[in-house]
């Protein structure tokens, strides 16, 4: 084979991979909740694609999705052990979805921060099965083949994940209502207005702060309307003075980026239903904020 022929073959392989890349990243990110780890998975999938006998692959997209899903499951299994020793609550790494609102998927499912946070409670294979079905609309026989399961088992895993999410999360409000609620909450939080805060929060609201050990981030969740509202009111005079609030989008929903002297110190994502704010997710880890902020400015 001539050098030119080899270049043509590699060029075809590259084009095939680049076409599939958004979906591959979307699968890995949803399974892992980490954009950094998802990028590593995609890179590994590319190396495996280069070293594969591509002439024997009938469906390249399905092959690449299978490789990615299996790699993500392996990483998620080891990440589970690491996250058990994580300092404080662990929250997903946020992503900017302005350019790709569905992040490579058939539909924007299993993408917002609250769902990714809840999916973390499932085992990695359950997460992968749910993601492949609900976000990417893969048929059950294909999911079974990709994850080396029986079709009945694949159906069971997806059904179990659906039940888990349905029991732990109420139907979220529409984006416009979410945006208004975020604005009202931020005003009340900055002023420490206890009455307004209590009116906005669901009775069993929970506040999670992921600082990865950074100073000022609560290392335990704060739970319940009374406790969360008082915590926010006490928090206000120490945290909010001198801060700039930038409305952003994270994981497909409105969010608020908090900056001090031009540097991001927190990303606030609200999970809200018709009962009010169900969860407050504060991403304060500099390691998680840095790539998100870079994507906003890039």
Strands (E), 129-275: 201-210, 222-223, 243-250, 253-260, 263-273
Render 37-66 in DSSP notation, one character per residue. HHHHHHHHHHHHHHTS-GGG-S-HHHHHHH
pTM, entire model: 0.93
Helices and strands (H and E) in the chain: how many: 11, 6
Reading the chain (298 residues) residue by residue, the pLDDT tens digits are 445 445 555 678 899 999 999 999 999 999 999 999 999 999 999 999 998 888 899 999 999 999 999 999 999 998 777 777 778 899 999 999 999 999 999 999 999 999 999 999 999 999 999 999 999 999 999 999 999 999 999 999 999 999 999 999 999 999 999 999 999 999 999 999 999 999 999 999 999 999 987 777 788 999 999 999 999 999 899 999 999 999 999 999 999 999 999 999 999 999 999 999 999 999 999 999 999 999 998 7
Nearest to 219 by CA among 76, 88, 98, 117: 88
Residues 6+ apart with CB under 8 A from 44: 71
Residues 6+ apart with CB under 8 A from 120: 33, 83, 90, 92, 127
């Amino acid at each position: 084979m001539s050098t030119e022929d080899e270049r043509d073959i590699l060029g075809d392989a590259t084009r095939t991979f680049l076409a599939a890349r958004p979906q591959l990243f979307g699968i890995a990110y949803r399974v892992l909740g980490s954009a950094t780890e998802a990028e590593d998975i995609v890179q590994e999938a590319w190396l495996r694609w280069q070293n594969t006998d591509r002439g024997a692959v009938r469906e390249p997209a399905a092959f690449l999705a299978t490789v990615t899903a299996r790699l993500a499951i392996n990483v998620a299994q080891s990440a589970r052990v690491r996250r058990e020793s994580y300092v404080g609550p662990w929250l997903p790494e946020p992503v900017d979805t302005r350019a790709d609102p569905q992040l490579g998927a058939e539909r924007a499912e299993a993408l917002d921060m609250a769902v990714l946070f809840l999916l973390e409670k499932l085992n990695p294979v359950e997460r992968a099965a749910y993601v492949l079905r609900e976000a990417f609309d893969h048929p059950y026989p294909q999911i079974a083949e990709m994850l080396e399961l029986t079709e009945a088992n694949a159906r069971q895993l997806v059904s179990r994940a659906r039940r888990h999410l349905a029991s732990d999360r109420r139907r979220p409000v529409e984006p416009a209502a979410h945006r208004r609620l975020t604005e009202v909450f931020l005003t009340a939080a900055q002023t420490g207005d206890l009455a307004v805060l209590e009116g906005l929060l669901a009775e069993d609201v929970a506040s999670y702060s992921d600082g990865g050990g950074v100073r000022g981030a609560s290392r335990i969740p704060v739970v319940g309307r009374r406790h969360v509202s008082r915590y926010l009111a006490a928090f206000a005079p120490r945290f909010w003075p001198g801060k700039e609030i930038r409305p952003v989008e994270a994981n497909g929903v409105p969010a608020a980026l908090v900056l001090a002297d031009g540097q991001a110190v927190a990303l606030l994502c609200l999970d809200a239903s018709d009962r009010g704010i169900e969860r407050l997710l504060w991403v304060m880890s500099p390691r998680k904020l840095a790539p998100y902020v870079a994507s906003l400015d890039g």
